[in-house]
Amino acid sequence: MQNNTFSTLFVGQNLIKLLEVDSTNNFVKHLVSNSEPLTEGTVIMADHQFAGRGQQSNVWHTEPGLNLTFSIYLKPNFLPITKQFLLNMAISIGIRKALQVFIKEGIKVKWPNDIYHGDRKMGGVLIENILAGSTYKASIIGIGLNVNQSVFAPELQNRATSMKGILQEDVNLFQVLAEICSNIEKQYLRLKSGNYKDLIADYVSGLYKFDTLSSYRQNGEIIEGRIIEVTEAGMLVLLVDGEKKEYNFKEIAFLNHTT
């Protein structure tokens, strides 16, 4: 464990660096299950994560030493568990705003929380909540971001990108991590203040395919619609043939070459 020079109140002030781990989220869960005293805002960072996971049990592939794979430990016990998607919104906004410091145009969040530049994925988030009865005990925010990777597996060539691929130069991993921690903290405190309406509006305005007529797969059928909002509970709202329709996770899939 070490202190560092992050300009934050608590996120990233306690940083644990690992050379290799199955997943940083698992490492945090292990610490918590062993009743280790863990400070809110602790960041676990690994050079190599050999069993990283994405949403819906997808495997997150990353080249050792070139990218960011880390987890943030938070205690959002101020948030009702019925509003847990708002934490996802705050995290997603924080990452988007951090990356916009380096990349001025094109950074979007693909619902619910993949990080995109144009039509290519550059990162993702996996949030695992630990509940005690009907209240939050803790939340583990796992983040994977392609930073300096320039070669991807053949099946990902047209679907993935990195900061280096966009900027055509190497990027300092620590600077990116510091910016992400700072912006996540800002959005987390915004969430804590209870200003949900502005938070939701900010999240929706930065969505991939927002207010753009696009194709989706729903129940095996192809539909066309526009994303017009996301509810407080995280439902994706599309305008389809003039009618508002709400979809939960796994009920709808984006149809494009990057899916």
Residue 192: helix, strand or coil by DSSP? helix
Domains of the chain: 15-205 (3.30.930.10), 214-254 (2.30.30)
- Under 8 Å CB-to-CB from 143, ≥6 apart: which residues? 68, 69, 70, 71, 72, 91, 95, 123, 124, 125, 180
- Under 8 Å CB-to-CB from 6, ≥6 apart: which residues? 12, 13, 15, 178, 181, 182
Residue of 31, 190, 79 lying closest to 14 (CA atoms): 31
What tokens does 182 get?
Answer: 């700072």
More reliable by pLDDT, 256 or 70: 70
Q: With contact defined as beta carbons under 8 Å apart, do 38 and 29 qualify?
A: no
Taking residues 34-57, what's their average pLDDT?
78
Asked if residue 1 has pLDDT above 70, the reply is: no
Map tokens 């696009």 to a residue.
214
Confidence of residue 49 (pLDDT cuts 50, 70, 90): confident
User: How many CB atoms sit inside 10 A of residue 131's CB?
Assistant: 12
Q: Please enumerate, as own/partner, the contacts of 151-154 that have beta carbons within 8 Å and a separation of 24 or more.
A: 151/63, 153/61
**Proportion of the chain above pLDDT 90, given as a percent:** 79
User: What b/e string do you get for 174-197 counting C-beta neighbours within 10 Å, with b at 16 or more?
Assistant: eebbbbbbbbbbbbbebbeeeebe
Residue 163: helix, strand or coil by DSSP? helix
Taking residues 111-123, what's their average pLDDT?
96
What tokens does 235 get?
Answer: 């439902």
User: How many CB atoms sit inside 10 A of residue 169's CB?
Assistant: 8
**At 64, which amino acid appears?**
P
Range of weakest confidence among 32-41, 58-67, 102-111, 204-213: 58-67
What tokens does 21 get?
Answer: 């781990």
Res 132: pLDDT: 86
